Structure 1
Amino acid sequence: MTDTPTLAEVVDLGRGQIDVDAVLRQLVDRADTAAPTSIGFPGAVDLDHTEVMARLGRRLWNNIGDPATDPGGAAHTKALERAVIAWVAETLAMPADDRWGYVTTGGTEGNLAALHAAHRRHPRAVAYHSTAAHYSIPKILDILGVRRIPVHAHPDGELDYDHLAAQIRRRPTRAAIVVATAGTTMTEAVDDTDRIHAILAPHAPGGHLHVDAALSGVPLALDGRLRLDHTSGIDSIAISGHKFFGTPTPCGVVLIRAGIRTPGGHVTYTDTVDTTITGSRCGLAAALLWHAIATHGREGHRWRVSEARHLAGYAVDQLTAAGWPAWRHPHAFTVVLDTPPEQVRKKWLLATDGPMSHVICMPGVTKGQIDALVADIRAAAHPTPAASLPRPRLPVTPQAVR
């Protein structure tokens, strides 16, 4: 009896005849097997996108060019894309006369589009970003050739505003591009953009305030705690689509003030305006986002936020009762815990950074999964109460974005 071939063996396109069905089946089986213990990275699993995939998944939907200009032919979903942009912008209280955006491939492209616009606006600017910022931020600034200054973050992940102010004061003749984060990678901390705006406001050369809100943007907007109204001082924001909305393809939304967006030229042969980073864009992603919003609405998504936060609170309680240090920000789906023993991490997909790990109680994660994780930690170690983790500074309040 022969062993079942590995995936690496059966996908080799140089092997001759390939059992395509077996390859696809192995991919799905592998993902299905891992799903119950994959709770360390953000991706909601409670929304059913089957209808969209069944109806639209058999053809190319190309939303090439600016969302406002429809290309030739009918195989695009720009009407849905415009509706998604409007819904997200309205949820963020962004004025209708001062907004522009599009559906992206994810948070990184959204950050790139926004920071590209900021760089064109202030070509000599210096960029400031937290040491807790997503890894895409320094990468993007390096690609754009923007000088960047890392700013300290507190142990709980929030930006050190005194250090930011001091760094900006050191460069009084250079405009400042500041990247805030609404939901840092490891702790889901939220930077206070009111405080950042107050630092930027008197800076004579001006500046640009961008918010990387990949994970927490929509939940905080539904709370009313993240707003892009005229008083917010926020110039752009990037949000992920496949995290909170759980779409089966990476995607996102970027919103930029209309007056500072990157201008684009008309492309004759596509009859569109080239204002986006990628040109050709996935129309299926826009349809998936539209479907998720249309079938649940704001109240349905508020309920999803509430349930996920309740589960995160339950996870902290259960871990703490087991003697394993854990905490969370009050608004967060993310539960930070001491890194579990190796045998636990081999079974459970947890995000780990040295002594710190986290689980993310995204919509669709269950109490049963949390209970099973806690039971495995109990079995693998002899936890005792400890204070080894960085914890939120007191008093603990929801980190308001404004």
Structure 2
Amino acid sequence: MNISNSDQHRIGRSPRPEEELLSQLDAFITGMRGEEPYVLGFPGNLEFSFSRLGGLLDVLINNVGDPGSADKSDINAKAMERAVVDFMARLANGSPDRTYGYVTSGGSEANQFGLDRGCTLLPDARVYCSQAAHYSIRKNARLMRKELVVIGCDAQDRMDVAGVGARMPSRRR
């Protein structure tokens, strides 16, 4: 019997036996490991092992709200999160005391946060991005119902500065 990939992972009315689920998970891991030799490193580096962190999988860590806020529960990693934000601020020649941030799950969420801050501070502003910008810029501009202006790139794949000027709305002085 040939089971398609989607059928293999279909969730039925009742749970499958644990051994079947674990076997399926093992096969998934083996398949993913089999693809590693064909990954060049983008978007992620495969030279790592999280095995030492395995114990964290058995702990609910929920950094609710702001990394600087107090929680009703001490089951969080906010102290580590603040240390990462402080390190990144210093790395960028910023002052940790004057820097706000949090650790995201990846670039898409970071872009969303940045666009949200910009849209909050400048509610009537348009969103400008280069044609080479990450897909999440376009997606988040659409979700935030912001006008998106896509600008061409120069020979080094940087946003074309002259193109930005040409696409700016004219203002009376």
Query: Do both share a fold (TM > 0.5)?
Result: yes
Structure showing the higher strand proportion among its residues: 1
Residues 156 and 48 of structure 1: is their aligned pair in 2 closer, same or farther, counting only changes over 3 Å?
Answer: same
Q: TM-score, normalised by structure 2?
A: 0.86
- 1:316-395 equivalent positions in 2, closer than 5 A: none
1:38 maps to what in 2? 39
Letter aligned with residue 29 of structure 2: V
1:20 maps to what in 2? 21
Letter aligned with residue 151 of structure 1: I
1:70 maps to what in 2? 70
1:150 maps to what in 2? 150
Asked if the contact 2:63–2:77 (Cα under 8 Å) also holds between the matched residues in 1, the reply is: yes
Deviation of 1:154 after TM superposition, in Å, equals 2.5
Q: Which runs of 5+ in 1 are unaligned?
A: 174-203, 205-402
Asked if the contact 2:81–2:103 (Cα under 8 Å) also holds between the matched residues in 1, the reply is: yes
SS of alignment partner, residue 128 of structure 1: strand
Residues 13 and 142 of structure 1: is their aligned pair in 2 closer, same or farther, counting only changes over 3 Å?
Answer: closer
2:55 maps to what in 1? 55
Give the structure, 1 or 2, with the largest relative contact order (CA under 8 Å, sep 6 or more).
Answer: 1
Residues 35 and 15 of structure 1: is their aligned pair in 2 closer, same or farther, counting only changes over 3 Å?
Answer: farther
Asked if the contact 1:151–1:163 (Cα under 8 Å) also holds between the matched residues in 2, the reply is: yes
Letter aligned with residue 22 of structure 1: S
Deviation of 1:6 after TM superposition, in Å, equals 5.2
Provide the C-alpha distance between the structure 2 equivalents of 1:50 and 1:29, rounded to a whole number of angstroms: 16
Among all aligned residue pairs of Structure 1 and Structure 2, give the percentage whose two residues are the same amino acid.
26
1:172 maps to what in 2? 171
Deviation of 1:156 after TM superposition, in Å, equals 4.0
Letter aligned with residue 40 of structure 2: I
Deviations 1:325-349 (A, max 9, x none): xxxxxxxxxxxxxxxxxxxxxxxxx
Letter aligned with residue 151 of structure 2: V
Deviations 1:200-232 (A, max 9, x none): xxxx9xxxxxxxxxxxxxxxxxxxxxxxxxxxx
2:159 maps to what in 1? 159
Deviation of 1:13 after TM superposition, in Å, equals 2.6
Q: TM-score, normalised by structure 1?
A: 0.39
Provide the C-alpha distance between the structure 2 equivalents of 1:39 and 1:47, rounded to a whole number of angstroms: 14
SS of alignment partner, residue 100 of structure 1: coil
SS of alignment partner, residue 104 of structure 1: coil
Provide the C-alpha distance between the structure 1 equivalents of 2:133 and 2:102, rounded to a whole number of angstroms: 23
Residues 7 and 146 of structure 1: is their aligned pair in 2 closer, same or farther, counting only changes over 3 Å?
Answer: closer
Deviations 1:248-272 (A, max 9, x none): xxxxxxxxxxxxxxxxxxxxxxxxx
Q: How much is the aligned-residue C-alpha RMSD, in angstroms?
A: 2.3
Structure showing the higher helix proportion among its residues: 2
Residues 148 and 14 of structure 1: is their aligned pair in 2 closer, same or farther, counting only changes over 3 Å?
Answer: closer
Residues 59 and 7 of structure 1: is their aligned pair in 2 closer, same or farther, counting only changes over 3 Å?
Answer: farther
Q: Which runs of 5+ in 2 are unaligned?
A: none
2:116 maps to what in 1? 116
